[in-house]
Structure 1
Amino acid sequence: MTLTRPFRIVLIEDEAATARNLEYIIREIKPAVEIMATLQGVTEAVDWLARNHNSYDLIFSDIRLSDGLSFEIFRQTNISKPVIFVTAYNDYAIEAFRNNGIDYILKPFDEEEIRRALLKYNTLIVPDVEMERDRIAGLLQQLQSTTKSYKKSFLFHYCGRLIPVEASKIHWFYTANEIVYAHTTDGKQYIVESTLEQLEQQLDPAFFFRANRQFIIHRNAVGTVEYFFNGRLVLKIHPSPLEQVLVSKARAMLFRKWLDQ
């Protein structure tokens, strides 16, 4: 009797909560799947993929990782397998399809989107080249004409009342003891009923940046940026938090690019 090996997938995602959610949905759709690895950054992915060349069938990959863009992985390794990109940003579509991309899913995603992407993989194992070119052209046109909507305001519970606050008035979000707080320009603090991972997908990346595992900061909150030990950056933001806000060496370049737009 011939045994069929399981369908093998590699995840490239630096947010643990997103990776867990993606793996859960994939297993719901394809229970026999094998998640061979969950890779969190460019360096880790390059190393793993070089050691496990073509031992997998499909890659799900975020684009902005903690230490750079995932496209750098494809420049440094010889990847021939298809890639489904899952990202919060819609401005990398063209480059994604130049790097083995067969689908481009915007966060936050749901089960139906992942199901359609896996079905597309099945139909593209032996693709019709002309049909595939037309499909990609149509998808790019759709992505380019679609503007993602970001949260413009929040409704907070405070002292028995509901307080509306514009997102532009929130200078930073902070998490401690599994509670997320929003700090406004006038120094007020509110509890947020979302995780930082969820907020990162809801907030406009042109104005908000995930500095580290504890802070998301608004562009207007940044006063000065100073160099710190081991290639890190220390941010002086206002209103001033109780602890230092550090940007890791891996994210320092992304932060400088974000601030210099």
Structure 2
Amino acid sequence: MTQNLHIIIIEDEAATARNLEYILKEINPGIEIIITLQSVAEAVDWFETNDNIYDLIFSDIRLSDGLSFEIFSRTKILKPVIFVTAYNDYAIEAFRNNGIDYVLKPFDKEEILRTLLKYNTLIASDANNELSKTKSLLYELQYATKQYKKSFLIHYCGRLIPVEAAKINWFYTANEIVYAYLADGRQYVVEFTLEQLERELNPSLFFRANRQFIINKNAVDTVEYFFNGRLLVKVHPLPLEQIIVSKAKAMDFRKWLDQ
């Protein structure tokens, strides 16, 4: 087992982070936990100012302010990542983002030991370059010809209504139900989560503004500066709640609008 291993934990559940740290140090007392980061925004800020002081990352996927994949798209992270999650539907995304393993919660000591041994095998065999090449090839095969969702078959009042994705101005979630709003004011329930929609919709047309909204670029009327570096987005039709883009996402949102 590699000694003096420096690890970053990205986890918004304090009890889970403490349990993971306890197991890691029980397996290898030489492990040092550099820091535990609890959100996408906190992690982006930390990685932008700290580089090459760690060897390995353990990261949850669903964090309080979004998916941890956003961290890896916004910052340059070259070190391997072990994703620890309660969900088993993110395997391809994990592999794209420096993932070398995928551990499902609830985990135990044996599972963490297994994944550390896998990490050690990669390091010992100097396989990182080959791993990167393999990931790159798989990414090209999986996504070079990716077909984004073009329409939805909506169940409404005993009927099936086809609706073009491009005609949906924004998606909104409340009480675990996702609604699609059209330009003419009609709204329908769709049988997807926002996380699923985020993967299925064309990212050049749709943007995940926050935990409640995915918006269509063509629906944006104005963007105003809000408190603490955030943005207030006005769309049509006007939703009951304000659409606020966080400071961490503000730059990406502006780039998306300016494409």
Q: TM-score scaled by structure 1?
A: 0.63
CA distance in 1, matches of 2:212, 2:103: 32
Question: Is the 1:180–1:191 Cα contact (8 Å) retained in structure 2?
Answer: yes
CA distance in 2, matches of 1:208, 1:55: 40
Corresponding residue for 1:55?
32
**Gap regions ≥5 residues in structure 1:** 1-7, 17-22, 24-32, 38-52
CA distance in 2, matches of 1:76, 1:257: 25
**1:149 positional shift:** 4.2
| 1:101 and 2:80 aligned | yes
Match of 1:80 among 37, 43, 54: 54
**1:66 positional shift:** 4.6
Cα–Cα, structure 1 residues 11 and 229, in superposed 2: closer, same or farther, change >3 Å?
closer
CA distance in 1, matches of 2:91, 2:187: 32
Match of 2:142 among 115, 140, 146: 146
**1:229 positional shift:** 3.3
**Gap regions ≥5 residues in structure 2:** 1-6, 23-29, 62-67, 95-100, 105-110
Match of 2:220 among 203, 219, 222: 222
Alignment of 1:1-261 (within 5 A): 10-12=9-11, 34-36=19-21, 55-56=32-33, 66-67=40-41, 70=44, 73=47, 75-76=49-50, 79-83=53-57, 95-96=76-77, 98=78, 100-101=79-80, 108-110=89-91, 114=102, 121-126=116-121, 127-147=123-143, 148-261=146-259
Question: Please, what is the CA RMSD of the aligned residues?
Answer: 4.4
CA distance in 1, matches of 2:167, 2:212: 19
Question: Is the 2:8–2:54 Cα contact (8 Å) retained in structure 1?
Answer: no
**1:206 positional shift:** 2.2
Tell me which amino acid in the other structure corresponds to 2:80. Answer: G
**1:190 positional shift:** 0.1
Q: Percent identity?
A: 43
**1:170 positional shift:** 0.8
CA distance in 2, matches of 1:159, 1:240: 25
Task: Give the total of aligned pairs.
Answer: 216
**1:162 positional shift:** 1.1
Cα–Cα, structure 1 residues 154 and 69, in superposed 2: closer, same or farther, change >3 Å?
farther
Q: Deviations over 1:139-177 (max 9, x none)?
A: 222223431443222221111101121211111011233
SS in 1 for 2:197: helix
**1:71 positional shift:** 8.5
Cα–Cα, structure 1 residues 170 and 68, in superposed 2: closer, same or farther, change >3 Å?
farther
Q: TM-score scaled by structure 2?
A: 0.63
Tell me which amino acid in the other structure corresponds to 2:102. Answer: I
CA distance in 2, matches of 1:199, 1:70: 23
Question: Is the 1:171–1:218 Cα contact (8 Å) retained in structure 2?
Answer: yes
CA distance in 2, matches of 1:136, 1:225: 39
Cα–Cα, structure 1 residues 135 and 78, in superposed 2: closer, same or farther, change >3 Å?
closer
Q: Deviations over 1:217-239 (max 9, x none)?
A: 11111111122333332222112
**1:84 positional shift:** 6.4
